[in-house]
Amino acid sequence: MKKVIAAHLILLLLSACSCKIQLTPAVAEAPTEVATVTPAPSPLPPSQTPASQPTKEWMGIPVMPGATTGEGDEEGYVFAIKATSQQVQDYYQVELARLGWQPSDQDTSNASVILSFTDSTAATLTVSILAKGDEVLVLLVK
């Protein structure tokens, strides 16, 4: 699961740092012989495998309604949603307060927000929010 989460985060960060490359066409001589190579089918790498349908909750924590993809295990849950970072932040502050979670910390950078919460048993929950355009990647870790 950690590899899947890391792959999603890296993919999102790479897409945020995308740059345009313009290639100059090269003049090539016509080949005298043409070889045909048929590649063997291979499975998609983990970062490109189709994501599953999101669940409504993960380990007692609600998954924001409208999530488009999602997957996880007992260590964490990651999902994507078409929303703003602020909408996700507002949703989790309200919903987690209803469940007895108290905010303990907040870290904000240019493209991400990390919310930390604790409950009455001193359990911790982090909600990492990474935004790019109109899509947000959310990582829940308990």
The average pLDDT across 129-139 equals 91
Q: Residue 72: which residues within 8 A CB-CB, separation 6 or more?
A: 1, 55, 58, 78, 140
DSSP 64: P
Question: What distance in Å separates the CA atoms of residue 138 and residue 127, rounded to the nearest whole number?
Answer: 7
In the predicted structure, residue 68 carries a pLDDT above the cut 90: yes
For the chain, list the domains and their CATH numbers: 2-17+58-141 (3.30.310)
pLDDT: is 1 or 122 the higher one?
122
pLDDT in tens, 43-65: 444 444 455 888 999 999 999 99
Closest by CA position to 57, among listed 49, 46, 67: 67
In the predicted structure, residue 111 carries a pLDDT above the cut 60: yes
Report helix, strand or coil for 48: helix
Closest by CA position to 104, among listed 92, 119, 89, 94: 119
